[in-house]
Amino acid sequence: MTISRFALAIGLSCAALAAPAQASLSFTITDLGTLGGGASYANGINNNGQIAGGSGGGTGLTGVVWENGAASALAKPAAVASQARDINTLGQAVGYGGFAGGANVRATLWDTDGTATNLGVLGGNFSQANDINDAGQIVGYSSYTGGSEYHAFLWQNGTMTDLGTLGGSYSYAQNINNAGQTVGVSTTASGAQRATLWVDGVASDLGALEGKSSYAYGISEAGLIVGYSDLGGNVRHATLWDNGTLVDLGAFDGGTRSEAYGVNASGQIVGYSSIAAGTLAANNRAVLWDNGTMVDLNGLIDASLGWTLQRAEAINDAGQIVGYGILDGQTRAFLLTAVPGAVPEPASWALMIGGFALAGGMMRRRALAVRFA
């Protein structure tokens, strides 16, 4: 099913449907702090509320797991940077760390007993793990023998497997669900960069809005996929792939770039949108897409606390959101928790898309591109 940009009347009807659910939504914010100085970053959160990230700067960056407000530094086998990228419901975290005397950075698994395991490489001297599911399957990317680029990998039962590409030179795996479906990016034989889905080792091109480049960052247990599509002219929009339909999640008025990083079981999506043209990080604002509406998370917290939330990296099934922003001039990891009684109805992208389908006669048949102001 392919649908084009919607008429104003359809947009207004969707906004009316979504508005009541968003009206009372608000969050408390927790400053996750640091390991004693520098910046901190929250990258992933599991359904138990455990958070994976990093604290510090440069080679002093150290992987962290936060639980119940307390930060625990993850083992660093060598004095180089390390960072946790995600954590499963068993409490196993993955990311990257230094091994072999610190000369090489390797994809790393931190088990619940604190042990750091070097997951190896496909070849070369670098690898990074980005996600782990509850079965212990780990995905990421690695240098490989005979190549100057990187290839996506799947690690399970002690073995790292090259997931290959769409025919091009590189690929990266970003997220894996409990069904083993993996998403990321790959280049095609023609050199195009495309959001990619791997199922049972087979790579599929997910396509892109406007037929240009795209990137997939997250996948839900139901198979909803989020990421971005480049639209040309330095314009980039967060994108949802829903059972073959591409949805343009839009950007704030005045902004030209947005990306989506995480999606939960209710279909709530998090990421960022710029508020001005260009790529300046200071113009980025953390956002939540819910029921087809994009909301600036900065407007859903107590403004007197002084935060500027720049990126929302992940959301769990309870609606808790993690990411990072600026507080007192420092980059700090945050946790957002919905205020009881202010939680919106679960998102229903299928309902939204169905509404557009009713107006199909008004639209050209092509990739759906909806801009939410």
pLDDT at 178 over 50: yes
pLDDT at 366 over 70: no
Cα(229)–Cα(214) distance, integer angstroms = 4
Cα(355)–Cα(8) distance, integer angstroms = 13
What's at 237, amino acid-wise? H
Q: What pLDDT score does 53 carry?
A: 98
Q: What pLDDT score does 145 carry?
A: 82
Contact by Cβ (8 Å): 96, 106: yes
Summarised one tens digit per residue, pLDDT across range 196-220 is: 999 999 999 999 999 889 999 999 9
DSSP-derived letter for residue 126 is B
CA dihedral 236, 237, 242, 244 (to 10 degrees): -40
- Quick check: helix, strand or coil at residue 76? coil
| From 71-80, 246-255, 270-279, 338-347, the region with the lowest mean pLDDT | 338-347
What's at 218, amino acid-wise? G
The pTM score is 0.86
Cα(322)–Cα(338) distance, integer angstroms = 12
Number of CB atoms found within 10 A of residue 39's CB: 16
- Quick check: helix, strand or coil at residue 152? strand
Q: Where are the domains of the chain?
A: 1-25+206-373
Which residue's structure tokens are 């670098």?
126
Cα(245)–Cα(367) distance, integer angstroms = 7
Summarised one tens digit per residue, pLDDT across range 153-176 is: 999 999 999 999 999 999 999 999
N residues, the chain: 373
**Cα angle vertex 241, ends 282, 214, to 5°?**
55
Query: Residue 70 — pLDDT band, cuts 50, 70, 90?
Result: very high
Greatest alpha-carbon pair distance for the chain in Å reads 65
Q: Which two tokens stand for residue 297?
A: 């998370």
Cα(305)–Cα(123) distance, integer angstroms = 48
